[in-house]
Amino acid sequence: MAELSYRDAVAHGIAQEMRRDPQLVMLGEDIAGAGGVFKTTVGLLDQFGPDRVRDTPISEQAILGAAMGAAMTGVPVIAEIMFSDFLAVCFDIVANEMAKSRYMTGGQMSVPVVVRTANGGGSRFGAQHSQSVENWCMMIPGLKVVAPSTPADVVGLLAASIRDPDPVVFFEHKSLMATKGEVPDGEVFDELGKAKTVREGSDGTIVALAYMVPRALEAAERLAGEGISAEVIDLLTLVPLDTNAILGSVAKTSRLFTVEENPRLCGWGAEIASIVAHEAFWDLDGPVVRITTPHIPLPAAEALEDMAIPSVDRIVATVKENLD
């Protein structure tokens, strides 16, 4: 068992899979000699050489166009888009080409591409470099969507994503890069579509993703000190979505809170609220409560960004208010 930072876990997970599959290649801006803008690919050029770890021009369309073309010929590709905000530049390739190729060829063609991208706020990068855009991809049939919160989950879910025959968008949270955690020795592989109950509870369920998971856990610890037992679920993947884990927890606790970094309108929590209202209405003792960022561009100013993104204080206050 080794302790790794989140960013080092990304490089560790990629290296594990590149050793396993000699065909696997990686494309992106400054990923080779520079080791990536967030230092998530340090050392990979030295280990695997310039034919497999390739720097690209500053062109998201070129990166994903090349990745898709290679994948269509049977070469699995990891493609890095530096900031998830820039998926907007190349979203036609993601949503209209990669996601639909298997369907439109009647299953004759797969596109084994993992689009890695740095996501989310909390790092003072401003409105165009801080968005949480998981819901952009969640709504597209044919895409899988992954967003781990711990180094161990980074490694295991990277392995699952890379081995998947279809396109996966893999969100790495910028504000988790320096966090550390233990990663098992040997090969690490997790299954896509399996949420984790990271804290047991009985009074209410808090569902969170990525950067919001440690905040939900801290909130649950504070709530426990006030006599409230909160269960915390780390979704890990939005597509496939582990509805069984959510519904099972709600059946036990009878209340549901979602903690979402995305803007409120059309966030992933709205879909979960809809599912629970339809499939577990009679298990609920009160309405599903969503704790989100407001529907605004994320501010760059430190105090304003901190006000916008769900905080531990806001999670605690909202849970208490709705359970009283």
- Which among 6, 41, 10 is positioned nearest to 177, based on CA atoms? 6
Residue 324's pLDDT is what?
Answer: 80
Structure tokens, 271: 């879909």
Query: At which of 158, 183, 208 does a domain end?
Result: 183
Question: Does residue 190 belong to any structural domain of this protein?
Answer: no
For residues 163 and 239, membership in a common domain is answered with no
For residues 133 and 157, membership in a common domain is answered with yes
Q: How many C-beta atoms lie closer than 10 Å to residue 16's C-beta?
A: 19
Question: Does residue 280 belong to any structural domain of this protein?
Answer: yes
Residue 266's pLDDT is what?
Answer: 95
Query: At which of 131, 161, 183 does a domain end?
Result: 183
Beta-sheet strand order (sheet of 256-263): 196-199, 230-234, 204-208, 256-263, 289-293
For residues 311 and 200, membership in a common domain is answered with yes
Structure tokens, 233: 């679920």
DSSP string, 97-120: IITTHHHHTTTS----EEEEEEE-
For residues 54 and 128, membership in a common domain is answered with yes
Reported as a single tens digit per residue, the pLDDT across 50-95 is 999 999 999 999 999 999 999 999 999 999 999 999 999 999 999 9
Backbone angles phi, psi at 258, to 5 degrees: -105, 140
Give the CATH number for residue 298. 3.40.50.920
Reported as a single tens digit per residue, the pLDDT across 129-177 is 999 999 999 999 999 999 999 999 999 999 999 999 999 999 999 999 9
Measured distance CA(324)–CA(220) in Å, rounded: 16
Structure tokens, 39: 């230092």
For residues 19 and 158, membership in a common domain is answered with yes
pLDDT exceeds 90 at position 14: yes
pLDDT exceeds 90 at position 1: no
For residues 159 and 103, membership in a common domain is answered with yes
Question: Does residue 32 belong to any structural domain of this protein?
Answer: yes
For residues 259 and 149, membership in a common domain is answered with no
Question: Does residue 176 belong to any structural domain of this protein?
Answer: yes
For residues 214 and 271, membership in a common domain is answered with yes
pTM of the prediction? Answer: 0.97
Per annotation, catalytic residue among 129, 173, 278, 295: 129
**Domain containing residue 236:** 196-323
Question: Does residue 51 belong to any structural domain of this protein?
Answer: yes
Measured distance CA(63)–CA(316) in Å, rounded: 42
Reported as a single tens digit per residue, the pLDDT across 107-120 is 999 999 999 999 99
Reported as a single tens digit per residue, the pLDDT across 221-280 is 999 999 999 999 999 999 999 999 999 999 999 999 999 999 999 999 999 999 999 999
173 is catalytic: no
For residues 41 and 178, membership in a common domain is answered with yes
Total structural domains in the chain? 2
For residues 243 and 268, membership in a common domain is answered with yes
Measured distance CA(145)–CA(138) in Å, rounded: 6
pLDDT exceeds 90 at position 27: yes
Alpha helices (runs of H) in the chain, residue ranges in sequence order: 6-20, 44-48, 60-72, 91, 101-104, 134-138, 151-163, 212-224, 243-253, 268-279, 302-308, 312-323
Tokens 């856990």 belong to which residue?
A: 217
Question: Does residue 60 belong to any structural domain of this protein?
Answer: yes
For residues 19 and 154, membership in a common domain is answered with yes
For residues 99 and 34, membership in a common domain is answered with yes
Query: At which of 153, 183, 213 does a domain end?
Result: 183
Residues ≥6 apart with Cβ < 8 Å to 17: 24, 158, 159, 162, 163
**Three-class SS of 13-24:** HHHHHHHHCCCC
Q: How confident is the model at residue 48 (pLDDT cuts 50, 70, 90)?
A: very high
